[in-house]
Amino acid sequence: MLKTCVLAVACAASALAQAANPIVTNIFTADPAALVDNGRVYLYVGKDDAPEGGKDYVMNEWRVYSSCDMKKWTDHGSPLRYSTFKWAKSDAWASDIVKRNGKYYFYSTVSHATIPGKAIGVAVSNSPTGPFEDARGTALITNDMTKETSIGWDDIDPAVFIDDDGQAWLYWGNTVMKYAKLKPNMLELDGPIHTAGLEAFTEAAYVHKRKGTYYLSYSRHFPEETVYMTGPTATGPWSFGGVIMEKNSNVKTIHQAIVDFNGKSYIFYHNAKLPTGGEYRRSAAVEELRYGPDGKILPVAQTAE
């Protein structure tokens, strides 16, 4: 017990305004999702396994790391893979995680084995570090390829947000942002799927709330930059807020997640700044996120170690 307290104090004292980036240097990591739980921040990333010069994503598993100071990270290994979902055939793409009623719900993008296109599954665990198991046995969201406009990856990048009244919302999509209510069991949609027309929306929708204002951040254009909108509810109406982070120089995606930890706000994202990094060999990083007195998010510059 005493040892735990001493460690906690040491952690608080060493909290940094600027983190050491990239967070992981021995493998390539992408699409960060983050969760704050019991005094630690947990980072979930997809492992980019494409060979140098590879021409497509090779992503088979998610990895988990945690920290009590945003600087020193503990590697918790891989608590789930795309194959955790028996109905999936590949692609451990972007994910998000939330805690509810003592359980940890992990929403992930994968490729469906029998329904063409990407799909979203839900895995559950009693611990933020897993192991996770498929919570439904079937996909929560599947791609509708009968639509003429379907691109096969319309249904990617889930993000989950639980509002103060307890209502959980799922946001996802590529090109068009979709959103829907989740039932209290977190495993089923509760009502119809809505769409939102957002200016130049590409992917990576993410909602957080601060001082009564809802912030919807997302990747805009391609190559992507991270922008945000604000609104009075979890479903808007949304007004453009500004650019949070400018595009990367050697990778077109950027995928953010925003959390508060130890009295500060942070934005996780990915770039490709490790040696031999690139489009399919990315690296997760984190920066402090600051707000102006009017609640506007200030632009964030990427830092290196």
What residues line the site for ligand FUB (CB under 6 A)? 30-31, 46, 57, 93-94, 109, 156-157, 203-204, 253, 255
Looking at the Cβ atoms of 63 and 68, the one nearer to ligand FUB is: 63
* Distance of alpha carbon 226 from alpha carbon 203, whole angstroms: 10
Closest contact distance (angstroms) between CB of 227 and ligand FUB is 14
Token pair 């990083």 is found at: 285
Closest contact distance (angstroms) between CB of 178 and ligand FUB is 14
* Distance of alpha carbon 82 from alpha carbon 110, whole angstroms: 6
What's the CA angle centered on 83, arms 193 and 168, to 5 degrees? Answer: 30
- Sheet containing strand 201-210, edge to edge, reads 201-210, 213-220, 225-231, 239-245
Looking at the Cβ atoms of 46 and 241, the one nearer to ligand FUB is: 46
Token pair 């010069």 is found at: 53
Looking at the Cβ atoms of 134 and 154, the one nearer to ligand FUB is: 154
* SS3 of the chain: helix, strand, coil, percent, to 5: 5, 45, 50
Looking at the Cβ atoms of 11 and 118, the one nearer to ligand FUB is: 118
Residue among 156, 155, 158, 139 nearest 147 (CA):
155
Closest contact distance (angstroms) between CB of 20 and ligand FUB is 22
Closest contact distance (angstroms) between CB of 80 and ligand FUB is 16
Tally Cβ neighbours within 10 Å of residue 305.
10
Looking at the Cβ atoms of 34 and 204, the one nearer to ligand FUB is: 204
Closest contact distance (angstroms) between CB of 280 and ligand FUB is 9
